[in-house]
Every structure is written in structure tokens, then in C-alpha cells.
A and B are shown apart, each in its own frame.
Chain A
Amino acid sequence: DQQVKQNSPSLSVQEGRISILNCDYTNSMFDYFLWYKKYPAEGPTFLISISSIKDKNEDGRFTVFLNKSAKHLSLHIVPSQPGDSAVYFCASRHAGNMLTFGGGTRLMVKP
């Protein structure tokens, strides 16, 4: 049973528009959430994170929102650029400081 789900396997967005990637989790004990980005033939790289005591964290064009009551987090990319085309994984931290990853969403930003 997947505790972290990314229900959209892919997303296509026009350059300059907003990209919104979504992630749902089931375990209320998760206390820290992260987003990773993965290009083909490379390992995932850390993008942005948020603690469960916050509801928003911003870093340049990237903003992560956390809705604890809905057990939902989202990553907003504004404006989207072709170089943002990659697979995005959300991850949640739980007991023992371990991460559980979602299935990933492939983002395609069209010029």
C-alpha cells in the first residue's frame, strides 16, 4: 500500500505558465516533506522541502504548499521553463528518519 501517491504520471505545460505537481500521503506521522527532480541518466537531486509545522516554503521559482488536514502537498513552478522538464518525486519522512517516495510525475514544459 503506497503511503505517498502522485496520481498524475505526467503533466504538460507551456513555457512561462505555472506547473502544479501534486502529492497525497496517508500517514499522519510524516513530519517533513521533500521534492526531488530527476533528469534522464542522472540521479534525483534535492529541490525543495517543507516541515509539517509550516504550510508554505518558497525558493525562487519553486514553492511547496502543505495542507495537513487534507494530507496533500503541491509543488508550484512559476514561470515554467523547458529546463524544468524532468521527473519529479515527492518524499515524506517518517519514523527512523526514513523517506518514502511517491511514484513520480513526468513534467514536460513546451517552448
Chain B
Amino acid sequence: DVKVTQSSRYLVKRTGEKVFLECVQDMDHENMFWYRQDPGLGLRLIYFSYDVKMKEKGDIPEGYSVSREKKERFSLILESASTNQTSMYLCASRTGVGEKLFFGSGTQLSVL
């Protein structure tokens, strides 16, 4: 089974802090994604990566950046956390040609 692991289940941070969310997948997938889930808005794509050191903006990239130094790891960075970034963050991966995404369990981030 594909496993996508997010390093933290819950995080509480203060406004202005720099926040790192880590994601690791173990199936050698080329593509990795970061989504946020908010009630009524579903899953919205923040950033994605087709390959190591490659990144593309999704639908809501403002306030976020990403890093992919190794194929299995994709990090989401909040340079200066704000309260409107309080959300559930979901990492996902897939093969280069597949449609199916495999998701991690999510990180519930609260910014106070």
C-alpha cells in the first residue's frame, strides 16, 4: 500500500511564525501536492511538484512556498503564519500518469 506520511497531526503556531509542514511518500511517486481543506470549500490546491526541485503554483499559493529536494519529500512553508491560514493541510502523491491521488492523514494547523 502507498503510504503518505505527514510529520505532525496537530500544530499550534503564533501569528508571524515560520511554519514547516513535512510530507514523505514511500512509493517513488513523481508528483506531490499540497492541499488545504476548509468547510464548504473542499480541497484547494496550494502547490504541486512534478519532480525533484520542480514546483508549480496551484490555485491559492499566496502566503506559501514549497521545497522538494528529494523525490520522496515535499515540504510546505508558511513564511509568516497568519490566522487565515488556520486549516487542515493535506499532502498527496501519485504516479506521473495516474489520476488517483494518495493522501496523507492531514495536519490540523491552528494559527493564534
Q: How far is the CA of A2 from the CA of B97 in the complex (A)?
A: 25
The tally of residues in A whose CB lies under 8 Å from a CB in B reads 24
Which chain A residue lies CB-closest to B43?
A: A101
Given contacts A43-B105, A44-B103, contact A9 B90 (CB under 8 A): no
| A interface, over-half SS | strand
Q: Does B41 contact A (CB under 8 A)?
A: yes
The reply to whether A99 and B99 form a contact with Cβ atoms under 8 Å apart is: yes
Partner pick for A103 among B40, B99, B100, B102, CB 8 A cutoff: B40
The reply to whether A43 and B106 form a contact with Cβ atoms under 8 Å apart is: yes
Q: How far is the CA of A98 from the CA of B40 in the complex (A)?
A: 20
The smallest C-beta distance from B50 to any residue of chain A, in angstroms, reads 10
Chain A, range 1-51, C-beta contacts under 8 Å to B: 2, 4, 6, 9, 32, 34, 36, 41-46, 49
Q: Does B4 contact A (CB under 8 A)?
A: yes
Please give 11 more A-B residue pairs, beta carbons under 8 A apart, in addition to A44-B103, A93-B99: A2-B42, A41-B9, A43-B4, A43-B105, A46-B101, A91-B43, A97-B97, A99-B45, A101-B43, A103-B40, A104-B40
